[in-house]
Amino acid sequence: MTPSRTRRSRALAAAVTGLLAATALAACTTDTPGGTTMTPAPTTAGSAAFPVTIDHVFGSTTIDAQPQRVAAISWANQDAALALGVVPVAMPFAAYGGDADGLLPWVKDALTGLGAQTPALLDEADGFDYDGLAKAAPDLVLGVYGGFEKADYDKLSKAARTVAYPGAAWGTSWQDQLTTTGKALGREAKATEVKAQIEKKIADAVAANPQIQGKSFAYLSFTSSDPSSVYYYTASDARVQFVKALGMVDAPKITELSQGTDDFFGTLSAELVDEIDADVVLAYVDDAAHLEAVTKDPLLGKIPAIQRGSVVVLDDPTFNLSTSAPSPLSVPWAIDAYVPKLVEAVGKL
């Protein structure tokens, strides 16, 4: 893995785990399924939608015919395919947040709902599993949500046509995941349908919880190894966008820090954290004991929301991942998990 790839991987790990050390589970590639499973499409578009060209950060990819063996890499890409009724021939082993079989709960539910077996699982603990991909023999690789670099893309493209992310690394919204994946798979009508269903679930959650509307929040990550600084997530970060979709707003300090940057997170000195004037803080911590240490810290404990206890504790990997990489499958799951905690935190104002 190149130094730049290593730096990006470490930054990504910080985004998901709150800069905590997660145990990397080794994943063995299972036997390759016979091919991609597709449920009947809602329209007759299918193969008539091809050829299609999809623009992305590294150029464009032309797909000549409806893919028959779809592989997913990075996070969330299998989620968009599954949401559209397409079961990949290969997808990543979920070392963070998944069960012993390497499956996230929303992915497991989708596979069960489609009556599908678990696809071949790719070990991405230290870069892409090119051997696993080769064994799966895909005709299309989905990397619509990701942060890999041009060298990775070039290597992936040698295995099969690859659709990369459209812009900012790790910044593809769940809506764009659906739209782009639907276009790549010839399921644009289904993508529109699924998008409407998720938007209704969000709207229902907003309507049912007026007490959180307009309240400000900040996503922060605390590391027990270095309490001298705090990581914050910017206004453009996907997990931040998720909370804003529920009717909450960026804290003024986060708005200020987010200006003029395309980065999804940044660092703030502990001496300045009392300026984070959020009604609610969503806090990545090791565990309850770490949160208590943050609360008692002479600098970190000055954050107003921390002082009041208006905190949503982020110490569960599955809970954390549901919005760290928001997808068409994880967002509905996250709504049910997050909203009660946001309501509780706002109740302490």
Chain segment 311-342, per-residue pLDDT in tens: 999 999 999 999 988 999 999 999 999 999 99
Q: How confident is the model at residue 29 (pLDDT cuts 50, 70, 90)?
A: very low
Averaged pLDDT score across all residues of the chain: 88
pLDDT value of residue 240 = 93
Query: Tokens standing for 318?
Result: 């599955």
Q: Give residue 218's Cα distance to chain centre.
A: 18
Whether residue 163 contacts residue 91, with contact meaning beta carbons closer than 8 Å, is answered with no
- pLDDT-derived band of residue 45, with 50, 70 and 90 as boundaries? low
| Packing angle, helices 3-17 and 317-324, rounded to 10 | 110
Region 273-285: mean pLDDT is: 96
Q: Residue 264: what pLDDT?
A: 87
What is the structure's pLDDT at 209?
A: 97
Higher pLDDT, 42 or 69: 69
Rg (CA), the chain: 20
How many separate helices (H) and strands (E) can be counted in the chain? Answer: 13, 15
What's the rounded mean pLDDT across residues 85-92? 98
Place 224 in a pLDDT band, splitting at 50, 70 and 90. Answer: very high
d(CA 308, CA 276): 13
